[in-house]
Amino acid sequence: MRFKRKLHQLASSRRLWRTATVLFAIAYGLIIFIMWTSLGDNDVKISKVQHYKHGRIPIPVTKPPCSYNLEENRKPQFISLGREIWLLQAVFNRLNNETFIRILASMPTWKEMSPIYCLVKTDFGITEAFRADVKYLKSSRHKINSAYQLVCNVTGKVTDNPCSLRVSFETSINSNWTTLNVLDSVQKGKGNIGVCLSPIYFGDIPEHHLVEMLELQIMIYDHVYIYDTSHSTIINHYRSRPNVTVWDWSMPKILQNTTYRFGLPLAYAHCLRAASTSLLFFADLDEVLVPEKEPLWPTLPHSSSAYCLSTIYIEPVYGAVPLTGSSTESRKCSSRMKCFVKPSTIENIDTWGTPELYEGNIFVITMDVATVKHYAPCRNQHCLNKCNDIPIQDRIVADRYESRLKKAIQRVMHSLHYKPAE
């Protein structure tokens, strides 16, 4: 009996040992699985060693399309990175067999900065850090804060839009980081041509004149992009128009008085990437692009990256005169050229609307397809040197649009001020 009891105890201990061994193997397998699936959630250099020390060949991970709301993600939003740096937007860009992530940022002009890194999950499921090249946007005009582009070259590591990325001053995943959604630069095609209007304080413009200039822009372009700094009743009225996009341009107070013209360089750079039309023009509210023939846009050669036009100041002799007014006596002043562009071929737009092209794109100057008319006094010396002091009668814009413009203004003013009887 004692011998049988001993055998029974031995068998039980073996079963316990076997059970413990199985449980240990399962636990070890779970640990290995968790470590494998979480590669990249630690420091980048460690992740690479873990990935290759088992002799595995990296296999690209199939990624679903970006799930964020595209229209919401196009909206400009200033996000603090710290150290006086504000991030605005990230864009995924394919160019000449290379891939980049370009981040718009406002930074102190020419101040020595710590390196900035893009932390991106690669096609192999690893999160890697890429040091950003800092590119100054020349249009910033040397203010206290200027517009910059942070460019991370992710060629060979990221082939499709990663949807989001982290931006940090350190390469460690565990450091402080800021998350941005990533737009895709090729999402275009909403109409033929759009205009990006400069951010200004609309509250300083007389109501009738503001409506007149906005309605005129809407008649000329397929889509109008407005950067709203004032939240005026009139601008709010245009938010419901299907061919108008109003973006709230809510700059941090610290930037409002330290950047050029309400952050114009950043607004233009944002519109270049966020607007969805095939062609874009960049203008002040009182600059009117007048085609020689209508419709102009379908007749343009598709091989060109930009079409540059002559600009003429139409300076009212007796003060500012609305286009629909009876007096159009003006003097004519030639000025710089302005261009409308294919956004996918352009890296940046300066404050005069002149493009800086990506390498390898075609830049074509066209003088005769349209004219840019600037209905404002000529104040800079370059313009004053080319003024014709003989008053002229400028009727091209008024004759072409006056009838439709008056009716459009009446509709808007009626909508703004008519109150139904209670």
Residue 149, helix vs strand vs coil = strand
pLDDT, position 422? 44
**How many Å is the Cα radius of gyration of the chain?**
29
Half-sphere exposure of 156 (CA within 13 A, CB side): 1
pLDDT score for 198: 92
Angle at which helix 207-220 crosses helix 396-417, to 10 degrees, equals 120
**Confidence (pLDDT) at 33:** 56
Query: Is 48's pLDDT higher than 60?
Result: no
- DSSP 3-state of 295: coil
Domain residue limits, the chain: 70-184, 193-417
Tokens 């109501």 belong to which residue?
207
Q: Which residue has the higher pLDDT, 96 or 396?
A: 96
Question: What percent of the chain stands above pLDDT 70?
Answer: 71
Per the listing, tokens 């930009």 go with 306
* Residue 207 or 353, more confident: 207
Give me the helices (H) in 251-341, please: 253-256, 264-274
Least confident of 8-22, 146-160, 374-388: 8-22
The pLDDT of residue 262 is 86
pLDDT of amino acid 67: 78
Least confident of 125-139, 151-165, 366-380: 366-380
Interatomic CA distance for residues 262 and 172, integer angstroms? 35
User: Average pLDDT, stretch 128-150?
Assistant: 85
The pLDDT of 46-55, averaged and rounded, is 38
Question: Across residues 257-278, what is the average pLDDT?
Answer: 89
pLDDT tens sequence across 401-410 = 888 998 999 9
Residue with more model confidence, 294 or 231: 231
Higher pLDDT, 283 or 323: 283
Q: Which of the two residues, 160 and 138, has the higher pLDDT score?
A: 160
Q: What is the mean pLDDT of residues 35-51?
A: 39
**pLDDT for residue 41:** 38
Q: What is the pLDDT of residue 86?
A: 94
Q: Tell which wins on pLDDT, 36 or 130.
A: 130
pTM attached to this predicted model: 0.79
57-111 pLDDT, tens per residue?
556 666 677 877 888 888 999 999 988 999 999 999 888 889 999 999 999 987 7
Mean pLDDT of the chain: 78
Give residue 418's pLDDT band: very low, low, confident or very high (50, 70, 90): low
Given this model, what pLDDT does residue 37 score? 47
- Higher-confidence residue: 339 or 153? 153
Instruction: Label residue 411 by pLDDT band (50, 70, 90).
Output: very high
What is the mean predicted confidence (pLDDT) over 261-265? 88
- What band does 421 get if pLDDT is binned at 50, 70 and 90? very low
Integer angstrom CA distances of residue 260 from 86, 88, 90, 343 = 15, 16, 21, 23
pLDDT at 224 over 60: yes
Minimum mean pLDDT range among 127-136, 160-169, 290-299, 337-346: 290-299
CB 259 within 8 A of CB 266: yes
Tens digits of residue pLDDT in 288-306 = 888 877 766 666 766 778 8
What per-residue confidence (pLDDT) applies to 112? Answer: 80
What is the structure's pLDDT at 228? 93
CA pair distance 154, 161, nearest whole angstrom? 11
Please give the CATH architecture assigned to the domain spanning 193-417. Answer: Alpha-Beta Complex (3.90)
Choose between 294 and 239: higher pLDDT. 239
Helices marked H in 277-422: 381-384, 396-417
Looking at the structure, give the CATH architecture of the domain made up of residues 70-184.
Answer: Sandwich (2.60)
pLDDT of amino acid 190: 56
Predicted confidence at residue 365, as pLDDT, reads 65
pLDDT more than 90, % of the chain: 28
